[in-house]
């Protein structure tokens, strides 16, 4: 009779969902080599190759795809069993910046649910400054926010990743240098908005605000409609948009750093929060690969 190692099964599920040994290791607070060893032991126990590994990408094998749902169910049953002895449901209030949340949010929330079925997740989307203020007022347990490279770093911040901001527009959009650049921006106060305007002013490029959005989803819709150009991280924008910075001769925008601030001490809730943090910032191809 085969007895499965739950830690190895959890490592397999995380590698499959995050499409990365490195991100899975971060989520488990361990090393990449330790995750690889767990996977090898699991594959040996099952007598099946679960993952196809190449230098650039990790994919599920046919056996791995067949095993994934059962592995998730096994882990979910384990968490529910633990919950019967640990006081039932817990709550985690998390703030996530509009400029950090991406199109994979639904998939990420499903992963969190599978990982910790008894955790009630209270998710707030908003601007980084407002979320940090709520965190400091202890209205949120943790926040994942963006900051510009070079801004003062808070002692409680843990850097997750750095990504560029780019100028995005609909593929068929046209703009003639000399005319005001039509912009779609988030409402004040927004650090990305301010950085974009500073960059254009410093480059001597005129601009006109033609659309103001209350969230990145609204901005993305305005850009897709061909109304304007907008400064966004490529990861959070609709896939149909094009980077027009070089085409239009627009200035390079400052990079964004995404950081986690957390006061979560409960081990299981902290692990779930780390899983969310690890799932953000994945390359676009990696986000699609295992869906």
The pLDDT score that the predictor gives to residue 284 is 39
- Where are the strands (E) in 105-156, listed by range? 119-126, 142-148
**Paired tokens of 169:** 């527009």
How many other C-beta atoms lie within 10 A of the C-beta of residue 255?
15
CATH of domain 165-254: 3.40.190.10
How is domain 1-86 classified at the architecture level of CATH? Orthogonal Bundle (1.10)
The pLDDT score that the predictor gives to residue 290 is 30
Are 89-162+256-291 and 165-254 in the same CATH fold? yes
**What residue ranges do the domains of the chain occupy?**
1-86, 89-162+256-291, 165-254
Q: Are 196 and 183 in contact (CB under 8 A)?
A: yes
Whether this model's pTM surpasses 0.75: no
The pLDDT score that the predictor gives to residue 207 is 94
Return the CATH class of domain 89-162+256-291. Answer: alpha beta
CA distances from 165 to 181, 193, 226, 257, 287 (A): 17, 11, 19, 10, 19
My answer on whether omega of the bond before 19 falls inside 30° of 0, hence cis, is no
The pLDDT score that the predictor gives to residue 87 is 56
Q: What is the H or E stretch that residue 60 is in?
A: strand 58-60
The pLDDT score that the predictor gives to residue 80 is 67
Rounded to the nearest 5°, which phi and psi values hold at 16? -65, -45
Rounded average pLDDT per 10-residue block, the chain, 291 residues: 82 80 79 87 87 77 87 76 62 90 83 81 90 93 86 83 92 86 90 91 94 90 93 88 92 90 85 84 41 30
């Amino acid at each position: 009779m085969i007895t499965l190692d739950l830690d190895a099964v959890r490592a397999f599920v995380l590698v499959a969902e995050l499409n990365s040994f490195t991100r899975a290791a971060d989520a488990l607070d361990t090393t990449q080599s330790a995750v690889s060893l767990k996977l090898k032991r699991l594959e040996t126990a099952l007598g099946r190759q679960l993952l196809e590994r190449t230098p650039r990408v990790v994919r599920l094998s046919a056996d791995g795809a067949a095993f994934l749902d059962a592995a998730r169910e096994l882990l979910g049953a384990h968490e529910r069993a633990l919950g019967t002895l640990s006081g039932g449901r817990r709550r985690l209030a998390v703030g996530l910046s509009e400029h950090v949340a991406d199109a994979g949010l639904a998939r990420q929330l499903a992963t969190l649910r599978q990982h910790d079925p008894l955790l009630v997740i209270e998710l707030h989307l908003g601007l980084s400054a407002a979320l940090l203020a709520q965190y400091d007022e202890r209205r949120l347990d943790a926040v994942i926010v963006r900051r510009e490279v070079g801004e003062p770093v808070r002692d409680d911040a843990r850097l997750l990743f750095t990504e560029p901001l780019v100028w995005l527009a609909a593929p068929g959009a046209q703009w003639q240098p000399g005319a005001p650049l039509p912009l779609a921006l988030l409402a004040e106060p927004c650090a990305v908005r301010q950085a974009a305007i500073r960059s254009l002013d410093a480059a001597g490029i005129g601009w006109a605000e033609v659309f103001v959005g209350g969230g990145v989803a609204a901005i993305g819709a305005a850009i897709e409609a061909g109304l304007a150009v907008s400064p966004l991280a490529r990861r959070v924008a609709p896939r149909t948009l094009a980077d027009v910075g070089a085409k239009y001769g627009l200035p390079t925008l400052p990079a964004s750093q995404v950081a986690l601030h957390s006061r979560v001490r409960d081990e299981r809730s902290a692990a779930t929060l780390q899983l969310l943090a690890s799932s953000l910032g994945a390359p676009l191809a990696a986000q699609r690969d295992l869906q």
